[in-house]
A and B are shown apart, each in its own frame.
Chain A
Amino acid sequence: MGSRASTLLREEEIEEIKKETGFSHSQITRLYSRFTSLDKGENGTLSREDFQRIPELAINPLGDRIINAFFPEGEDQVNFRGFMRTLAHFRPIEDNEKNKNPTASEPLNSRTNKLLFAFRLYDLDRDDKISRDELLQVLRMMVGVNISDEQLGSIADRTIQEADTNGDNSISFNEFIKVLEKVDVEQKMSIRFLH
């Protein structure tokens, strides 16, 4: 599998991805083989159906939202670059990256980008605000059917009230960052990609 992946993936492409996402060479080839195994149509891109075929995602409450997050707005295909770009959000922040010069553009796996990814899951209409309805939708996905709308509504209200500082009854991205500032997002939004 790996050999096939590396044959299909040009060296300069790997270099570009490496530069953009910070993944190592072996990680990229490994993920590329995963990408091709997901790509049933074998056209170099993944469609929503390809993602939906992953059995575990079917039982993930936020599965569909996360699938959507892989697709750029208005498109329903994602190529390997886009795939890697999304996954790069979850790369742990390494020590040598912390001290990087601030002038360079922010890496995809920075704290802000991690939070932005989570924020976008809530923010369906992309108006950079989580409205009560949007929050309710996500909450509804995450809790079972046993909890009543009323209860859920009160949770949503409280959540918004807690986060809302400018009184517009919705959570902006800045408020989102602020309310999670004490959370170790770097750790809680990272997974270990095998080397």
Chain B
Amino acid sequence: MIFLPYRPPLTQTLSLSLNIFTQVSAADSVIVLNQEAETVFPEQTPCLFCHVTFSSSVFHFSQRFTTVVPESCMLILLGLVLGGVVLIANKKQLYQLEPALFFLFLLPTIVGDAGYFMPARLFFDNLGAILTYAVVGTLWNAFCTGFCLYAAKLLGVIDERVQADLMDFLLFGALISAVDPVAVLAVFEEVHVNDMLFIIVFGESLLNDAVTVVLYKVYISFVEVGPANVQTADYFKGVASFLIVSIGGTLVGLVFAVILGFITRFTKKVRIIEPLFVFLLVYLAYLTAELFSLSAILSMTFCGIGANKYVEANISQKSRTTVKYTMKTLASIAETIIFIFLGISAVDKSKWAWDTGLVSCTLIFIFVFRAVGVIGQTWVLNRFRLVPLDKIDQVVMSYGGLRGAVAFALVVLLDGKHVKAKDYFVATTIVVVFFTVMFQGLTIKPLVKWLKVPRSTSRKPTINEEIHERAFDHILTAVEDIAGLQGYHHWRDKWEQFDKNYLSKLLLRKSVYRKSELWEAYQKINIRDAISVIDQGGNVLTSARLSLPSMASRASFPEVTNVTNYLRENGSGVCLDLQVIDNVPGAKVEEDTETHHVLAENLYKPRRRYQSHYSRHFMPLGEKERQDREVFQRNMRSRMETFKSTRYKRHKKERSLKKVTHTQTHAHPAVIPVEDKAEHSDAEKEDDVGITFVARKAETPKQRPKSAALDGCQSPTAAPPSPTSGDSHLPWKGSVGSPPPCVSVEATKIIPVDLQQAWNQSISSLESISSPPAPAEPVHPRVSALSRLGGPRPASYTPPGSVGGSTSSIGAQVSQGSFCFPEKKKTEEEEEEEDEGGALQEMQPLMSSLRPPSSLSSPPPPPGSAPGSGRRRNPCVYLRSLVTAPPPSSSEPYSRGPTQL
């Protein structure tokens, strides 16, 4: 049971995963970092990495920093400071951003995250613009910067010491001209410009990789063979290699996307490795492309974009969450490392060779040519675009042309033997990167505000928008067809047909394939609403048994916030059909729900206390104790009340009640622990069923003790030295005196291994009760034994004040009373189970449609056990417990028999 929280149930995973990850990330990332780092720096101190992680988390959480200063700036500054410290201490810079580390580990994590979570529709809507900026824009920047720097050199603006000719400058221009995805992501994610603008700049930064790679490699080879030896054919080879690198990279990515989709189609039985496949294959796409000297970034991006739809549909919700948060965490770790190391690397005298002319020329040129390029291309593009890019967009795009770590890594990779001016280039690159990331990154936010660039709203679409936008798409396609235009919608529709008829059939599970996207969207919205309702409601746990859809509908009506309203309105529990609830409330239903409410509050609190044991990180302890006490008292009160009423019932049942005296009421405090224990262990078992399979096995023998325990109880009817003659007629009373062996022998088999000890303790305490002497004392051992069993709830079991006093004073009567009470309790519970079960069964057909596809094969939930578990867990867990086939309900009342003893 201790391991239960490690695999939190469905909704908890969703709602808590953020918490978990923020908590875990500190520890985790150090490990991850160390693993990554060891490949590059086998023995260097992990404390630096601790520092990295720590500082990143500090920046994450300090609002003041991040609202004004982008994280990337702070990280670079921190890196500078750290680098300075290391330099002073060591006289020599030990750390720097190694290109191998960067290209093999850091960059793919970021690109993988970006590609996988790329909004595909938006990306392809703007693909034309993105490609134009990425290819034409980058080429333009590279050539212009290179030539102009050469011109500046000729004009004498750049110092004589910079030994570089045209080829060197063109090479430098190529590596400095590419907009950097890491920097763009880091800065733009905080600026929140509108989606279209973001996707154009970011898409450009990803897709220009092919251009950069080709230009870089071509120039390197030109520089190496010497400009004089370059023949005309080589230029054409360069152009050809560009096509190969870009198209080849894309194809590699798409091939891996298909493989990934295809694999996840068959991972139903091995859910645990689903995320692994995602990471592995996306990364493999990167490595494979790198291996063949194709554009690795393109490959990874398209693998992510292509696979996302199919993978997300195939894998389980948990895997989805895992993939999402792991990718995001890794990417932000990588980003942090990159920026810090950029800062550290800058503080390295050995690399610096400053030339003011070169630096200032480069800064001016890249800025000017970026702006000119953007304006020129936009002018052309706007003739073809449905939504023209206006002037403000162009300003932001020009200003957002950030250079970053890719340029730095590339310049560090240069061979100093061939490129004489390498040191100057490194210094210039560092300055350019710092200038763009820090100065432009710092000022872009005010600029965007000042220009009133439309911001993005991180709003999830409502069901209406989902439906109507789909309708819009159909309308536009039809209109294009009618107007005889082979436009974008025409081709998108063609692609969707192809996807539906072939790709989805190949890559999606059958169960998923048959589902409608609309239905998926609907369910997603429902789940999201349900989670948000739970989040807002905080402690609405008692209403948690109302499952997703009905709550979801309420989410849009803020006036329905309190629990009672929920219960009144949605009394029938899980119900998909909103009409039923809203239009036919029905007096009886309302009455029932009122009952449910009362019962839920009174009966099941103990188990909730038990559950809070596992979520102790999320619930303040003091409040819990207070609540426990309250619940305890309320329980007592209500039990006494119900007891009074059930006494008459027993008359009807012609049971001898002569000996049921007033003492029984006093005996309750002693009884409750027994009762609680029974419930408690039930709860544990139920939870076990939900989570692990071992425990379910342990539960199946329950049937056997049922008869055995009954036999054991009934056989000694004549024998026991019962205090009164009347008691002997009652089997359960008779069992008081009966030797516990019949319990301990049989019952130990049904107790899960980890509970054996606690069980034995309670048995021994029971034995001590049954022994004739020591009337008062037995109570306490029992209580203590139980509180031991219950773990974190000893306080709640010490009956407060007067109740506690009565416990010990009337201890002599305890053994009598204690075994009357369970029967009463049982009837009460059975009643409740009946009507709950009825309500549940009503809902069966509706619920079955709600359940995830994987669960369809499992048997329908037994009415008795489900409501109990559902009452205090959140809806998904409730569904889960329905889904995971709880133990047969028939065994439950009986199974309590042995446990109560």
CB of A195, distance to nearest CB on chain B (Å): 8
Provide the residues of chain B in CB contact with A187, threshold 8 Å. Answer: 386-387
Stretch at the interface among B292-300, B468-476, B725-733: B468-476
Instruction: Report if A57 contacts B (CB, 8 A).
Output: yes
CB closest residue in chain A, given B386: A192
Given the known A-B contacts A56-B477, A56-B490, are A155 and B578 also in contact in the complex, defined by CB atoms under 8 Å? no
CB closest residue in chain B, given A163: B464
Contact B483 A151 (CB under 8 A): no
Instruction: Report if A193 contacts B (CB, 8 A).
Output: yes
Contact B471 A194 (CB under 8 A): no
Provide the residues of chain B in CB contact with A31, threshold 8 Å. Answer: 483-484
- A residues 88-147 near B (Cβ < 8 Å) are 90, 92, 95, 117-118, 121-122, 138-139, 142-144, 146-147
Interface string of B484-497 (1 = CB under 8 A from A): 11011110010001
Bound Cα distance from A55 to B78, whole angstroms: 63
CB of A50, distance to nearest CB on chain B (Å): 10
CB of A171, distance to nearest CB on chain B (Å): 8
CB of B627, distance to nearest CB on chain A (Å): 35
Instruction: Report if B38 contacts A (CB, 8 A).
Output: no
Provide the residues of chain A in CB contact with B387, threshold 8 Å. Answer: 92, 187
CB of B352, distance to nearest CB on chain A (Å): 49
CB of A173, distance to nearest CB on chain B (Å): 13
Contact A157 B578 (CB under 8 A): yes
Bound Cα distance from A95 to B769, whole angstroms: 90
Contact B485 A159 (CB under 8 A): no
Partner of B482, one of A51, A144, A155, A161: A51
Contact B519 A155 (CB under 8 A): yes
Contact B516 A34 (CB under 8 A): no
Contact A146 B516 (CB under 8 A): yes
CB closest residue in chain A, given B582: A161
Instruction: Report if A26 contacts B (CB, 8 A).
Output: no
CB of B87, distance to nearest CB on chain A (Å): 52
Instruction: Report if B161 contacts A (CB, 8 A).
Output: no
The number of inter-chain residue pairs (CB within 8 angstroms) is 159
CB closest residue in chain A, given B489: A191
Contact A193 B483 (CB under 8 A): yes
Instruction: Report if B364 contacts A (CB, 8 A).
Output: no
Contact A117 B468 (CB under 8 A): no
Instruction: Report if B579 contacts A (CB, 8 A).
Output: yes
Given the known A-B contacts A62-B475, A147-B519, are A54 and B576 also in contact in the complex, defined by CB atoms under 8 Å? no
Stretch at the interface among B16-24, B137-145, B400-408, B548-556: B548-556
Instruction: Report if A77 contacts B (CB, 8 A).
Output: no
Instruction: Report if A158 contacts B (CB, 8 A).
Output: yes
Stretch at the interface among A2-10, A13-21, A177-185: A177-185
Contact A90 B516 (CB under 8 A): no
Contact A56 B481 (CB under 8 A): yes
Contact B474 A61 (CB under 8 A): yes
Instruction: Report if A24 contacts B (CB, 8 A).
Output: no
Instruction: Report if B522 contacts A (CB, 8 A).
Output: yes
Provide the residues of chain A in CB contact with B384, threshold 8 Å. Answer: 192
Bound Cα distance from A58 to B384, whole angstroms: 29
Contact A159 B464 (CB under 8 A): yes
Contact B556 A62 (CB under 8 A): no
- B residues 576-626 near A (Cβ < 8 Å) are 576-579
Provide the residues of chain A in CB contact with B390, threshold 8 Å. Answer: 95
Partner of B553, one of A92, A143, A158, A190: A158
How many residues of A are counted as interface, with CB atoms below 8 angstroms from the partner's CB atoms? 55
Contact B482 A54 (CB under 8 A): yes
CB of A57, distance to nearest CB on chain B (Å): 6
Provide the residues of chain B in CB contact with A60, threshold 8 Å. Answer: 474, 477-478, 481, 493
Partner of B484, one of A37, A92, A95, A151: A37
Bound Cα distance from A144 to B505, whole angstroms: 14
Given the known A-B contacts A163-B464, A189-B475, are A59 and B497 also in contact in the complex, defined by CB atoms under 8 Å? yes
Provide the residues of chain B in CB contact with A192, threshold 8 Å. Answer: 384-386, 485, 487-488
Provide the residues of chain B in CB contact with A148, threshold 8 Å. Answer: 849
Bound Cα distance from A138 to B577, whole angstroms: 19
Stretch at the interface among B221-229, B455-463, B655-663, B804-812: B455-463
Contact A189 B476 (CB under 8 A): yes
Instruction: Report if B846 contacts A (CB, 8 A).
Output: yes
Instruction: Report if B515 contacts A (CB, 8 A).
Output: yes
Provide the residues of chain A in CB contact with B457, threshold 8 Å. Answer: 182
Provide the residues of chain A in CB contact with B470, threshold 8 Å. Answer: 142
Contact A179 B577 (CB under 8 A): no
- A residues 29-78 near B (Cβ < 8 Å) are 31, 34, 37-38, 51, 54, 56-57, 59-63, 66, 70
Contact B463 A155 (CB under 8 A): yes
Instruction: Report if B518 contacts A (CB, 8 A).
Output: yes
Contact A143 B519 (CB under 8 A): yes
Bound Cα distance from A108 to B552, whole angstroms: 38
Contact A162 B464 (CB under 8 A): yes
Interface string of B437-462 (1 = CB under 8 A from A): 00000000000000000000101001
Contact A158 B522 (CB under 8 A): yes
Partner of B577, one of A70, A153, A162, A180: A153
Provide the residues of chain A in CB contact with B479, threshold 8 Å. Answer: 66, 87, 90, 191
3 A-B pairs closest in CB distance = A34-B484, A56-B481, A143-B516
Q: List 14 A-B contacts (CB under 8 A).
A: A34-B484, A57-B478, A66-B475, A90-B476, A95-B390, A142-B470, A150-B577, A158-B549, A159-B467, A180-B468, A189-B476, A191-B476, A192-B384, A192-B488
**Chain B residues with a Cβ under 8 A of chain A:** 384-388, 390, 457, 459, 462-465, 467-472, 474-485, 487-490, 493, 497, 514-516, 518-519, 522, 525-526, 549, 552-553, 556, 576-579, 845-846, 849
**Chain A residues with a Cβ under 8 A of chain B:** 31, 34, 37-38, 51, 54, 56-57, 59-63, 66, 70, 87, 90, 92, 95, 117-118, 121-122, 138-139, 142-144, 146-148, 150-151, 153-155, 157-159, 161-163, 179-180, 182-183, 185, 187-194
